[in-house]
Amino acid sequence: MAERDRDESGRPRNSRPRDALGRPLPHGSTGVPRIPDDLDLPPTESLAYAQTLLEQGLAFHAHEVLEAAWKKAPPDEKPLWQALAQLAVGITHIQRGNITGATAVLRRAADVLTATGTAPHHIDAEGLARYVADLVDDLGGAAVFGRERLIPRLRGDRS
């Protein structure tokens, strides 16, 4: 059996390069830059970074940024950050052609976003909940999405 990549604490890590959709490439390939495992940004910077990645079509990488924020978030914000990470994962599934997986994870994200109400950091939870609901509806109709359709606006203040 091949030996797995591990970090200094012994946890499994995948050091293989990845493509723009986050899929592992063979060792030695040139992939897109990875998001550091220890990323630690303030919430507004995490949102801005994730938004930029979404706009570049790098939803998997946006998910990694949002997941890092989720892990560092105060307990009362964790469900919201998790929902944002799930939104990015759902978009990744759409980009990869996995409509069933996209629908499942987007529905979970929508449930939390709908229940959030007023969100911190100018996160547009209400607008995102509508965006996700519309996206899930369109997935049921086997719609084909252009790049612009897969770029949600994370913040209501347009920054």
Whether residue 81 is found in the same domain as residue 64: yes
Span 17-52, pLDDT tens digits = 898 999 999 988 999 988 988 899 999 999 999 999
Per-residue pLDDT, averaged over 134-149, amounts to: 84
Whether residue 23 is found in the same domain as residue 86: no
The contacts of residue 3 (CB under 8 Å, 6+ apart) are none
Whether residue 67 is found in the same domain as residue 137: yes
Positive or negative, the CA dihedral 102, 68, 150, 107 is: positive
Whether residue 76 is found in the same domain as residue 111: yes
What pLDDT score was predicted for residue 62?
97
HSE-CB of 31 using CA atoms within 13 angstroms: 20
Span 85-131, pLDDT tens digits = 999 999 999 999 999 999 999 999 999 999 998 899 999 999 999 99
Range from 11-15, 51-55, 109-113 carrying the lowest mean pLDDT: 11-15
The verdict on residue 29 lying in a domain is: yes
Domain assignment of residue 18, given as a range: 1-34
Whether residue 47 is found in the same domain as residue 4: no
pLDDT beyond 50 at 159: no
φ, ψ (nearest 5 deg) of residue 18: -125, 155
CATH number (domain holding residue 88): 1.10.3450.10
pLDDT beyond 80 at 12: no
What pLDDT score was predicted for residue 5?
61
Residue 138's nearest CA partner among 89, 87, 108, 94 is 94
Whether residue 30 is found in the same domain as residue 84: no
The verdict on residue 100 lying in a domain is: yes
Q: Which of 3-12, 24-33, 123-132, 137-146 has the highest mean pLDDT?
A: 123-132
d(CA 118, CA 140): 29
pTM: 0.88
Whether residue 83 is found in the same domain as residue 138: yes
